[in-house]
Chain A
Amino acid sequence: MGKPALLVLADGSSYHGYTFGTSVDAVGEVVFCTSMIGYQEMLTDPSYAGQILVPTYPLIGNYGINEQDIESDRIQVRGFVVREQCLQPSHYMSQETIQQYLERGGIPGIYGVDTRAITRRLRAGGVMMGIITSDKTPQQALDALHKMPDYGSIDFVKQVTTKVPYYWQAEGSESKYHIVVLDCGLKYNILRILNHLGCNVTTIPCTTSASVILSLKPDGILLSPGPGNPELLDYIVATIKQLIGKKPIMGICLGNQLIARSFGASTFKLKFGHRGGNHPVRELATNRIYITAQNHGYAVAPDSLKGDLEVTHINLNDGTVEGLKHKELPIFAIQYHSEASPGPLDNTYLFDKFIEMVKGTSV
């Protein structure tokens, strides 16, 4: 049994539990995710950088931790808040427990807390900063919390993007296309899928300039998902502006917001975001409903869209923008995660669509 610990939210509410993982304090934006499964994928999703993650599903760690299910090179969350951690996982692929994994990653966790109460608090009050601590009183914790910079003011993309470019070879013998992925905090599954579809992939830092990108002779460019406030990323927007019209572009999640911004649209912060594997999205062209995996705290302001971008998808729950496309140019983007992992695989077809688009333009 870990030692007693606290999660204190910026609104002063506090929740009692016990430490697991590494026993250090952690400060971050506290968010909840309603996926019932896929905790390892969540933990390693760079889009959670700077955040303390609260899975709404109470039993975490049941099938342990394995090599295959990582989505980046490390645990990305600042802290992990669960109702119950499983100390005796059971799965033929399991190599260690969630406890050991967090410990190895130097990340603090707190278990035994009423995660549903936290979720309801965030739903009502909106996401807010919070702190996990095992040595502070609630008041001390709150003071420490107020000293910290706000989540929305930090550029996490620079922190999670790859430092150096890297290259993944396509599966199978004859490789079709070369895709350059601008890494704002991508999940490996994007690369896996592209490889699987016969594409060679070069992943590059988010600071790479347009000229360097074009010099890589990509057949298509993918703007990856990533953490945080898109308003802080004008240096990427500048790059994108120079790529528009030159190559087919697909944007995912943050990529969707950045494409919108490069066409002059604005983004705003959602009250408590979309994080889960069950969000229904309507494709306006066909009226079809797709169940999607989502993880974003910001969204594109529809009324700010002008000119050549049109909305292709909307969220059935709150009507927010879930997809965009350019009227003429080979550019489209989605706000949800077609690579899933974790979540439903209903939307991987969008990668095929991207390849079709690439095929259409490349000679």
Chain B
Amino acid sequence: MKPSKVLIIGSGPIVIGQAAEFDYAGTQACKAMREEGIISVLVNSNPATIMTDEGIADIVYVEPLNLDTLTRIIERERPDGLLPTLGGQTGLNLAVELADAGILDKYNVRSLGTPIQTIKQAEDRELFKQLLIKIGEPVPASVSVNTLKQARQVTGEIGLPLIIRPAFTLGGTGSGMAHNLEELEIVVSGGLAISPIHQVLLEKSVAGWKEIEYEVMRDGANNCITVCNMENLDPMGVHTGDSIVIAPSQTLTNKEYQMLRTASLKIIRALGIEGGCNVQFALDPKSSQYYVIEVNPRVSRSSALASKATGYPIARVASKIAVGKRLDEIPNQVTGRTMASFEPAMDYVVVKIPNWPFEKFASSNRTIGTQMKATGEVMAIDRCFEAALQKAVRSLESNRKSLTWEDPGWKLSTDINSYPLKPNDLRLWAIMAALRRGITPETITEYTRIDLWFINKLQNIVDMERVLQSQTLTQELMWQAKQLGFTDEQIGALTGRSSKQVRQMRRKWKIQPVYKIVDTCAAEFDASTPYYYSTYEQEDESKRTRRKKAIVVGSGPIRIGQGIEFDYCCVHAAFALRDEGYETIMVNCNPETVSTDFDTSDKLYFEPLTVEDVLNIYEKERPLGIIIQFGGQTPLNIAAELENAGVKIMGTSVNSIDIASDRGRFSEVMKKYGIPMPESGTARSLDEALVVAKRIGYPLIVRPSYVLGGRGMEIIHDKEELVQYVSVAVTVTPDRPILIERYLENAIETEADALSDGKDVFIPTIMEHIEYAGVHSGDAACVLPPVSLPEKHICTIEGYTKKIALELQVVGLMNVQYAICQDKVYVIEANPRASRTVPLVSKVCGIQMARLATQLILGKKIKELGLKKLSIPHFGVKESVFPFNMFPEVDPVLRPEMKSTGEVLGIADSFGMAYWKAQEAVNRLPTKGMVLITVSEADRHAVVDVANQFATLGFKIRATSGTHTYLANHGISSDTILKEHEGRPNITDAIKNGEIQLVINTPVGKLSKYDDSYIRKAAIKYRIPYITTLAAARAAAKGITAYREGKSDVKSLQSYHADIKSFARD
């Protein structure tokens, strides 16, 4: 019955629609297996995950997630069970592939929990529809089609508007709404291209209806429960992943609630799910009529949210069900007494708000719809909706934007049409602005179809704003404002005070938050799990212990530039603190993560990461200090204010952090040590900019000085571009200067992560980027240990890194980026905190960087930790994944501004093979066929040897005229191909017709007469591998060669680590 060894498939890199929630799910699954005495074999290509830590799974494979890799892992490990439903859509689809390919039967691997047949029936929209009709559940009229022709035909029957949804895709990829035949053509053809089985569903639109979800569990004995339901503030038409979501539902009567609950149970039973699933409904706000929209027969983003919202660990319970446990045999960890076969009762409101990457894609349109665009989300808990919403809003940290924020660009009139109220990322603020101008809630509901209940709540917030502005701030008023979730900052702004003053008034009046427990049972039973949220009420349930304790500040929502890797670090910090005998207190607001799992730390405060919220917890808990260096930029941004408020910051000092982030102060320090930095200057006007430019000389790299994360960074080749940038792109003003810097051309970028105790520094290895400097370190592929760096540069880099660490008195982690230009090493920047690459280094070198850093922060010394210089016999290649498929209008070129959402790691004994594996993990390179080469003038000379390599690999080459001639002159034959403006058949035709297997295309640059981005966009639309830098092209050739020479082999992380030798420290 019970398996002895189970294969768990992870969900791969973070992409839109599949974020950290599956690290949380997979980690719980591994823990559950351990509790059951079952060996877990975990496969995931994403190194920045807790689940791929040796401590969590028994055997870990960081390998590409595809059929033949998994086959070979099964061959090697011989598991007798497979958990298909914990790795998101990726894991699910792979499990189905393995079954269909007969692999599971061949090696008699039992698929555990929900049967494969059920998965197919739930995933195939047509089969699912048939089932629902059979059991008498209502579905909107719909037809599945495989061609555009069929689509046109059925549109007559169903009628417009229509929803188009591709089968077997994720996050609504390729789905959309069609109000007319033209839109129909566009969306359907796109959808067919994307769907792995070339099938799309055309469905009658019920846009505007309430969208309601239920999280349901079923065990093998047919016991069923619902964990909770959720109501989307944004009605049908906006993907649940892009909707503001509230749990539990707020506007349903008991009859409606039970009607949908009963339907959910009926469906999960009819499907025969064994584990968890998510059922989505559309409910008519005017008649209680409903439709079933879809079922996800697996743990999902919603189930992670439901778990954090209720305290009910869905993934854990689902895993135990899969290995044969019944719901009534699985204890409810929260109460300790009761069993998992009950339905959580909430006595608070939970609000989730998505986080979108639009700032990162200037050209992208900000509207949202049936296709998901959010990279992450935040969750907030409070006793009323207004407060939960305001907490969630400030958890977004979008430059500290509160609900009172208004876009200066809006025409703030009394005409509702002047506000952007069609679904978009700023709609919530737009509604607030409209309410402030006296537009009635009824009008807004009519216009947006958002339930009046929610709009009325927003009106309450607006009313309180007015009261605060007009009346004197009494104790009673302060209390009411606090109960509605207003921050000291907001109250200050509205009453003409500083947040500090407001804070002092609160102290005087003893208006402090209390903390209540998330206990799954609305206090009916005594809860043993310290999972807290703040509110302004009578009773405080959080008891301060006498133990020595430290607070770890998390990293908030997953976003481009600050991804899961920082949550990974925070979790390790918590584990390390625990092992060192400290009480660990985690503060974070991201429901998807392991850090917000209630058994990761001794106490979890599910709170926004603002000065006020963190300070409240600090004053409540009185810890030895706060650890801020693992949560990415988020905790750093509030560090100074916290310190001023008397908080003890553990590890590297706030002053050092400031030196590093203030380019002026930093370059002073570098000068002092004679460490070269690219020549640079600041400009407050166009004239100044031109002067600086003249001094430094083109090309330049420019960035606004007031933003972080490389936002708005550009490479400038000439005066024309500079003028353009200064006057159009970023409007430069005296108080908003730009930094101008010499752009180091054809420079190899490297990074070093260092551990330091202030006296000694340890550098496990150095990372060498594949792409040249100019591609953001977060986007560039990189290899570690380095492959092409001469020893002298490695020494220089190590030397500089040590110097900087000691000068900044770093205690803990630091990351320094370098560029090697014309045989000289320059420092680009230093970050005295955990970096994106910490998990990478940890997994390739087999040392737990974050854990060690925590020990250093607690006072241990490098010497005590016995860290030795390592010789690493293998190579790790990190490759990034990009969300361009979700933003078809964006040109997918790599720039100094980061755009990737996630990463994969390929490990092998040679660089070539490691690179191949990394590519395999993101989007497999072709091994033969036709390669299209079309590069900008500047790259021509360098393209020759790339073309040569592909030619010798037996690839046929097609090139655009310029490139073609150049190659011909250098003795490389190629067929010409037309550009779009040159006539037809052209590049786009060839890509559509599948004549091309690989695109090598370097952009001609912004100001060229003809835009060439259509080449790259077409490659993405038709899922053809494409490369936009020659460095990457060269590496690709190496990779393909390596693949040709020897079949890549699978090897567990444990065995890689076993091969690492360490020298005595010199």
Contact = CB atoms under 8 A, between A and B. Distances in A.
Interface of A: 15-16, 32, 34-38, 40-41, 56-59, 62-63, 66, 68-69, 83-84, 86, 88-93, 113-117, 119-120, 123, 272, 276-280, 282, 287-289, 291, 316-317, 340-346
B347 A116 contact: yes
Given A59-B349, A114-B537, A316-B339, A289 B253 contact: no
B185 to A, nearest CB: 37
A114 B538 contact: yes
Contact of A317 (B257, B338, B344, B523): B338
B308 interface: no
A62 to B, nearest CB: 5
Given A116-B347, A276-B524, A280-B328, A37 B252 contact: yes
A339 to B, nearest CB: 12
Given A88-B453, A291-B342, A37 B254 contact: yes
Interface stretch (B217-225, B688-696, B760-768): B217-225
A58 B523 contact: no
B453 A58 contact: no
A276 B452 CA distance: 28
B342 A279 contact: yes
B844 interface: no
> Which of A69, A116, A272, A279 has the most chain B CB within a 10 Å cutoff?
A116
Given A59-B349, A62-B250, A288-B223, A37 B523 contact: no
Contacts of B338: 280, 316-317
Contacts of A62: 250-251, 453
B453 A68 contact: no
Interface in B841-885: none
Given A56-B522, A278-B344, A346-B265, A90 B349 contact: no
A340 B258 contact: yes
A188 to B, nearest CB: 13
Contact of A277 (B343, B347, B525): B343
A93 B251 contact: no
> Which of B223, B327, B525 has the most chain A CB within a 10 Å cutoff?
B223
Given A56-B522, A63-B252, A278 B343 contact: yes
Nearest to B539: A117
Nearest to A113: B538
B458 to A, nearest CB: 12
B451 interface: yes
A275 to B, nearest CB: 9
Contact of B525 (A57, A117, A317): A317
A36 B383 contact: no
Contact of A57 (B287, B522, B541): B522
A62 B345 CA distance: 17
Contacts of B222: 288
21 contacts: A16-B538, A36-B248, A56-B523, A58-B347, A58-B384, A62-B251, A62-B453, A88-B453, A90-B251, A92-B287, A93-B253, A116-B383, A116-B516, A119-B523, A278-B344, A287-B221, A316-B328, A344-B261, A344-B262, A345-B261, A346-B262
Contact of B523 (A123, A289, A316, A346): A123
Contacts of A115: 347
A195 to B, nearest CB: 17
Contacts of A41: 254
A196 to B, nearest CB: 14
A56 B347 contact: yes
> Which of A56, A58, A115 has the most chain B CB within a 10 Å cutoff?
A58
Contacts of B544: none
Given A58-B348, A277-B343, 19 more contacts: A34-B345, A34-B522, A37-B254, A56-B347, A59-B384, A59-B385, A63-B253, A66-B253, A84-B384, A92-B285, A116-B383, A116-B516, A120-B523, A120-B539, A123-B524, A276-B522, A280-B328, A341-B254, A343-B258
A291 B251 contact: no
A116 B527 CA distance: 13
B253 A91 contact: yes
A58 B339 CA distance: 25
4 closest A-B pairs by beta carbon, nearest first, are A38-B254, A117-B539, A114-B538, A90-B453
Interface residues of B, number: 53
Contacts of B326: 289
B337 interface: yes
A34 B537 contact: no
Interface in B449-484: 451-453, 456
A262 B344 CA distance: 36
B1013 interface: no
A69 B286 contact: no
Contacts of B144: none
Contact of B345 (A56, A66, A316): A56
B452 A316 contact: no
A97 to B, nearest CB: 12
B521 interface: yes
A278 B342 contact: yes
Nearest to B225: A291
Contacts of A317: 337-338, 342, 525
A345 B266 CA distance: 12
B223 A88 contact: no
A351 B596 CA distance: 44
Given A58-B347, A91-B253, A287-B221, A119 B522 contact: yes
B537 A68 contact: no
Contacts of B252: 37, 63
Contacts of A114: 537-539
Contacts of A276: 345, 522, 524
B235 to A, nearest CB: 13
Contacts of A58: 347-349, 383-384
A229 B281 CA distance: 43
B526 interface: yes
Contacts of B525: 123, 317
Nearest to B348: A58
B538 A15 contact: yes
A291 B343 contact: yes
Nearest to A89: B453
Contacts of B348: 58
B346 interface: yes
B223 A289 contact: yes
B538 A117 contact: yes
Contact of A92 (B286, B343, B453, B524): B286
B1047 interface: no
B255 interface: yes
Nearest to B222: A288
A128 B349 CA distance: 28
Nearest to A119: B523
A276 B285 CA distance: 27
B390 to A, nearest CB: 15
B341 interface: yes
Contacts of B265: 346
> Which of B287, B328, B344 has the most chain A CB within a 10 Å cutoff?
B328
Contacts of B255: 68-69
B537 to A, nearest CB: 5
Contacts of A343: 254, 258
A37 B257 contact: yes
A342 B345 contact: no
